Amino acid sequence: MDRIAIVTGSDRGMGKETALALANNHYSVIMACIDIPNASRAGDEIKSMSGNKNVFVYKIDLSSIASIKQFVQSFLRDFDHINILINNAGIITMDHEITEDGFEKIMAVNTIGPYLLTKLLVPYFPLGEDNRIINVSSWIYKFGKFSIEKMNKYHYVKAYSVSKYSQLLMSLELADGLKERGITVNAVNPGTVRTKIMITNIWFYDFLINILMAPLYIEPKDGAKTCIYLATSDEVKNETGNFYRKCKPVVIPKKFNNKTIRTGLLRYYETIFKENLSFSAC
């Protein structure tokens, strides 16, 4: 059976490096992206660099429930299964924006959208195969203490930290829930990487910050290494429910990995899912 991988936000940065690595590993690669012209250019580059023609671009806007559903419908028109899902796309914005579905935008793109996408795709991971889900989180989760009631009120760095913490917790919960189903779920801390999300030039002092930060950045190719390792290595085929940094599992301090917070968060996501997407994706 053809091995199929979906990588969200794969038109640039670490997602593009991950998509290239999967194409090099003979996967059919679905690039799920918001900017179709840029994604098509990136897709052509990946095809020519890897020699793999099975690289396909699909539109997804993770801030929109309708767009997530539309993506899944389009994907299932052309394919009947998935083996790897990489929830890579992410944003940070300074403004406090509320999406058409009523969620704070950073939370919507970085964690609510990926959760809904994952839930819609779970039935299409074939039983008895090597199936993996990888969520690109961040070291910044440690600043993401949250309360469910305030989920739409956080903004900028706090919203980003909360979204990355939520993504990590969602990963741990899904790992437990999908063990029986034969799908592994792990999260990644890629480090501090020179990508669009990090390099902003909005304020005059951004230029200075970028110069000061320059020695700390690693390149996207290096930032993507742990994600690629989790997606392709036989060593981690059966590993699930871990948080990885530099291709090794790292310990999440107990105060951040609390079952009550995890189940509370999942209940919140499940309510959103049931209210919006509990019917068939097709």
Ligand X SMILES: NC(=O)c1ccc[n+]([C@@H]2O[C@H](COP(=O)([O-])OP(=O)(O)OC[C@H]3O[C@@H](n4cnc5c(N)ncnc54)[C@H](OP(=O)(O)O)[C@@H]3O)[C@@H](O)[C@H]2O)c1
Please tell me whether residue 38 binds ligand X under the rule CB under 6 A.
yes
Instruction: In angstroms, give the least distance from the CB of 63 to ligand X.
Output: 4
Please tell me whether residue 104 binds ligand X under the rule CB under 6 A.
no
Rg (alpha carbons) of the chain, rounded to whole number = 18
Please tell me whether residue 114 binds ligand X under the rule CB under 6 A.
no
Q: How many beta carbons lie within 10 A of that of residue 278, not counting itself?
A: 9
Stretch that binds ligand X, among 29-37, 151-159, 234-242, 258-266 (CB under 6 A): 29-37
How far is residue 110's CA from residue 123's CA, in Å, rounded to a whole number? Answer: 22
Q: Which of 70, 192, 210, 276 binds ligand X (CB under 6 A)?
A: 192
Please tell me whether residue 43 binds ligand X under the rule CB under 6 A.
no
Q: How many beta carbons lie within 10 A of that of residue 74, not counting itself?
A: 16
Instruction: In angstroms, give the least distance from the CB of 195 to ligand X.
Output: 3
Q: What is the three-state SS of 31-63?
A: EEECCHHHHHHHHHHHHHHHCCCCEEEEECCCC
Please tell me whether residue 106 binds ligand X under the rule CB under 6 A.
no
- Contact, 49 vs 75, CB < 8 A? no
Please tell me whether residue 144 binds ligand X under the rule CB under 6 A.
no
CA distances from 215 to 27, 194, 202, 247 (A): 34, 10, 21, 22
Please tell me whether residue 198 binds ligand X under the rule CB under 6 A.
yes
Burial 163-174 (b: 16+ CB within 10 A, else e): bbbbbbbbbbbb
Q: Which one, 67 or 129, has the nearer CB to ligand X?
A: 67
Instruction: Check if 205 is active-site.
Output: no
Please tell me whether residue 60 binds ligand X under the rule CB under 6 A.
yes
Please tell me whether residue 24 binds ligand X under the rule CB under 6 A.
no
Instruction: In angstroms, give the least distance from the CB of 146 to ligand X.
Output: 16
Please tell me whether residue 36 binds ligand X under the rule CB under 6 A.
no
Instruction: In angstroms, give the least distance from the CB of 129 to ligand X.
Output: 26
Catalytic residue among 160, 229, 244, 269: 160
Nearest Cα to 29, choosing from 12, 52, 13, 48? 52
The DSSP secondary-structure symbol of 208 reads: H
Catalytic residue numbers read: 160
Residues forming the site for ligand X (CB under 6 A):
8-9, 11-15, 33-35, 38, 60-63, 88-91, 109, 136, 138, 190, 192-193, 195-198, 220
